[in-house]
Structure 1
């Protein structure tokens, strides 16, 4: 039963959490089924209801964190107003001291501005600090638990309470799924190479022959060559073919050489006759 649940969780694996499950968000690949620390147990047993007094659309609201304590409202508004028209802005401050806590909520007039800020503004630098931008999770993510109840996202390794599934720390791919995808890629590459070789051989007209037929063809060709050299042919048809073949492929340079050779012999014969007549006259 455990193996079946694990297989189902691997099939429905996603890089980001679609619903907040404290047990899955506490594992690096999102496949755990048992809590591994007391904070996860506290998050499971807790009940959290989103603040009903919060105004604005959650789809148009972004969460900005890791701000400098010296960053003012004007600086944040000026920076994020270039992605769209701002509707609401709230820089969270401590109730007792009145100092900023380092995070804020910004609502845009439409979803396009929020999506543009989510895509472009994350990991930008404001007053020497690299900021983090994400959508609001309190009203968008079902089953949300804040950090104070053992939930949330992110965290530090030193605390030992890392939470995965968010934009800061997405889930890592399970090993079983990684091996399966690697095997699928290998089979796909193998089939691609086979298709490429088939197309290549079909285009080139290269059909493979068996070793026995290749030996028979070579033996037959060698026998035909011997018959041609000896002036014998296996059939009249083959002799006609060979004669036509030799006539067709006789090079013109060879004929030219024969013609020059015969003219030279004729000149030599005339020269010898003249010389013999001249010597007879002298005698």
Structure 2
């Protein structure tokens, strides 16, 4: 318990699917998919992963120019990639921004999170694909965050950190067992009354 951290240091789909990281069985099919997935980071992605930010929840109308305008105030941008659908060319609502300096990345992550861009509050965090060991993307059942409506929330990230698990001590466990014994004894007495 001393080494507990609300942010995952290594990605484990089973833990990410649990609000406190203590689940022993997957609760949805996506977690099963992520556990059996063999994912390797995209080799076509260039740039330094430690200088790259992930920007999500973008307005579908937001352009590369608008992102460059908004995020260049935190430092010099090396590369900016707005992820688009290969067939339609429409924005998928997220982008990767690589800065030239580490202090620019830290500042942008700290100050740009929850910034409103084109009427949408954006989410900003470090890139996970190449920096978090064991990473499995959302399309394969992994990822972090998610929407409540989908029933597939993922925890352990900045957006939705793990909650500290409840540590059940021996005294509490003994009291619970005694309480259960009392319940069983009470049920036994009820059964005797009903049978007589």
Partner of 1:54: 45
Question: How far off its partner does 1:20 sit?
Answer: 0.2
- Separation in 2, partners of 1:38, 1:74: 39
Partner of 2:154: 163
Partner of 1:120: 111
Partner SS state of residue 142, structure 2: coil
- Separation in 2, partners of 1:39, 1:93: 23
Q: Which runs of 4+ in 1 moved over 3 A?
A: none
Question: How far off its partner does 1:22 sit?
Answer: 0.6
Which structure: greater strand fraction?
2
Partner of 1:175: 166
- Separation in 1, partners of 2:65, 2:47: 21
Residue 31, structure 1, aligned to residue 22, structure 2? yes
Partner of 2:89: 98
CA displacement 1:97-121 (0-9 Å, x = unmatched): 1111111110000111111100110
1:31 to 1:11, Cα distance in 2 relative to 1, 3 A: farther
- Separation in 1, partners of 2:4, 2:28: 23
Task: Give me the TM-score of the superposition, normalised by structure 1.
Answer: 0.58
Gaps of 5+ in 1: 1-9, 180-283
Which structure: greater helix fraction?
1
Count residues in correspondence. 169
- Aligned residues: CA RMSD: 1.4
1:22 aligns with one of 1, 5, 13: 13
- Separation in 2, partners of 1:22, 1:12: 19
Partner SS state of residue 175, structure 1: coil
Task: Give me the TM-score of the superposition, normalised by structure 2.
Answer: 0.83
Question: Which protein is bigger by CA-based radius of gyration?
Answer: 1
2:65 aligns with one of 74, 82, 89: 74
